[in-house]
Amino acid sequence: MIELSSTIVTIPVFYFFLGSIVLPFLPKGNLRALLTIMVPFMSGFLIWHADQGSFLTVQLSQFSLEFMRVDKLSIIFGLIFSIAAFISSLYAWHIRDTVQQIATLLYAGSAIGAVFAGDFISLFIYWESTTLASVFLIWARRTEGSYQTGIRYLIIQIGSGVILISGIALHYSSGNSIVFSSLTDGGVQTWNAGVWLIFLAFGIKCAFPFLHNWLQDAYPAATVTGTVTLSAFTTKMAVYCLARSFPGTEILIYIGAIMTIFPIFFAEIETDLRRVLAYSINNQLGFMVVGIGIGTELSLNGSVAHAFAHILYKALLFMSVGSVLYRTGTSNTSELGGLYRTMPYTMIFCIVGAASISAFPLFSGFIAKSLILDSAAKENYHIVWAFLVFASAGVLSHSGIKIPYFTFFSHDSGKRPKEAPVHMLCAMGITAFLCLLIGVRPEFLYFLLPYEGKYEAYSYSHIITQMQLLCFALLAFVLLVTCKVYPDEERGINVDTDWIYRKFGPSVINFILKFILTVWNEIRRGGKISIDMIIKTLLHWFGPYGVVEAKLPTGRMVLSLAIFLGAVMGVTLFKF
């Protein structure tokens, strides 16, 4: 018992769950906020100094649950999750909402627990814990819309958990172990139903095409600070799970390529900046999925590096947009513009995030995306490489240019809000510094990657190719805006494939129910008419004033009935 207790206190997840228990007993204010940033700081410290191996193994019936499996893949995801939790908590220093603070701790802790899970059962426990904790960051907005969105989010995320546990059960019943490791031995053709269900569950959380709408629905509906937290964990936890269980699965290459392309159109016409960034998450996840599908050491390193960098620059963009929303009350491009005058620091941090996501040299996105593009070219996936290059240009257009341009420049909206609060600026400043540090000194990130190997991101070919692409995309944007071909920034509702289940599906169901109800009513009406006719006919012939009564004496009628009843009884008795 002493050995178990000493092991638990060295596990990062323990401090997140302990912090969520202690927090309600602390007075509201800075002490609680301090706790929310100290917990992830402690987590990062423990992960950085963790020894590789398996710890905290618990025997449950015939299952051996491994709650702390440490290797280079789990370490780098654990570190970036801890950094993200620290930054998002610092950004939310002003929050005095107990629900949001507890939900953030439980959400981040569960995500970190998932990346250290050594078996599928403990993974499932953390998988569902992230769902239950994160939905409160949506409900914390306390509007009718956020409540309905939270319900939809909960249904989809719990559904993915049900699919996951079903897949685990089927996989185990086929004679396989519950160890959370690669499931790709033998190729797709050898997968059993359980493996396919596990793959589908990971795909839902990773926002595969046609399974992605929960992301654009939920993230913009959360609170200002909740969206920053949401952007860091759920989808990247799914990326980790795919990298752990499905490396080298070729179908992922084509799924990822589609993911990089389809959000571009929606992001271009969208006017809600947080929805633009949500679509951008889909685009960036596509790069990671492609790398996992290629499955080489270089491509897997690229996917992990891209996930690490993406969490930082996407958090930075969400924080800058969130700061604008916090000060102005809107994140719609049709109502913004000219904010550089009064929010210069937020503008600078936003530009750093935009340059990072666009993969400008000396920024974090460049040194991560290059790994994936090179691996696609080396493995002769030339069409996929072309998709990725085109998607890179699209990213610059809808996230690298559109967000800072229409928020801080463009037309003058007349708004003169204050600069973001100091703690928000500190959180954005730390994140911007990390984006630049990784971009300038990529070896700091490459050192953490799961596979060893030297890679030179700043080669002449990489720099020239990327700068040509970026200049072309910038020129295209300028021409579109100058010629007034670029979509107008007007408030509107853009319908995605969620139209299938939010409009078309309910309409079909309502039509079917209405048709069934109409048929049933007609059957009832026809039956009532038939019964009325039968009764009327019987009364006409056998009623008190019917035809039979008028022609036959009463005594003869009674005798006839007696004979009839006797015949019926005789037949009945003879039968039995």
pLDDT tens, residue order, the chain (576 aa): 444 455 676 788 889 999 999 999 999 889 999 999 999 999 999 999 888 887 777 777 777 788 888 999 999 999 999 999 999 999 999 999 999 999 999 999 999 999 999 899 999 999 999 999 999 999 999 889 899 999 999 999 999 999 999 999 999 998 888 888 888 876 777 888 999 999 999 999 999 988 888 898 899 999 999 999 999 999 999 999 999 999 989 999 999 999 999 888 888 888 889 999 999 999 999 999 999 999 899 999 999 999 999 999 999 999 999 999 999 998 888 888 889 999 999 999 999 999 999 989 999 999 998 899 999 999 999 999 999 988 888 888 878 888 998 899 887 888 889 999 999 999 999 999 999 999 999 999 999 999 987 888 888 888 888 888 888 878 877 777 777 666 666 665 666 666 676 677 778 888 888 888 888 888 888 877 777 787 777 666 655 666 655 655 666 666 666 776 776 676 566 544
Look at the chain and report how many structural domains it folds into. Answer: 3
Task: Kindly state whether residue 467 falls inside one of the protein's structural domains.
Answer: yes
- Identify residue 234 by its one-letter amino acid code: T
| Residues 409, 468 within the same domain | yes
Query: What's the pTM?
Result: 0.86
The pLDDT of residue 570 is: 66
The pLDDT of residue 420 is: 94
DSSP codes, 554-573:
HHHHHHHHHHHHHHHHHHHH
| Residues 477, 554 within the same domain | no
- Identify residue 539 by its one-letter amino acid code: L
- Identify residue 322 by its one-letter amino acid code: G
Judge contact between 386 and 303, C-beta under 8 A. no
Q: What are the backbone dihedrals phi and psi of residue 214, each rounded to the nearest 5 degrees, phi first?
A: -60, -30
Q: How far is CA 327 from the centre of its chain?
A: 27
The pLDDT of residue 1 is: 47
| Residues 12, 139 within the same domain | yes
| Residues 379, 258 within the same domain | yes
Burial pattern 58-86, b for ≥16 Cβ within 10 A else e, equals eeeeeebbbbbbbeebbbbbbbbbbbbbb
Judge contact between 121 and 62, C-beta under 8 A. no
Task: Kindly state whether residue 141 falls inside one of the protein's structural domains.
Answer: yes
The pLDDT of residue 576 is: 47
Per the structure, the complete domain to which residue 528 belongs is given by 503-575
Q: How far is CA 463 from the centre of its chain?
A: 33
Report the run of H or E that residue 444 belongs to, with start and end. Answer: helix 443-446
Residue among 364, 324, 327 at smallest CA distance from 347: 324
The pLDDT of residue 105 is: 95
- Given 178, 197, 215, the domain boundary residue is 178
Rounded to whole angstroms, how far apart are CA atoms 361 and 363? 5
- Given 162, 178, 194, the domain boundary residue is 178
| Residues 562, 468 within the same domain | no
- Given 154, 178, 202, the domain boundary residue is 178
Q: How many helices (H) and strands (E) does the chain have?
A: 24, 2
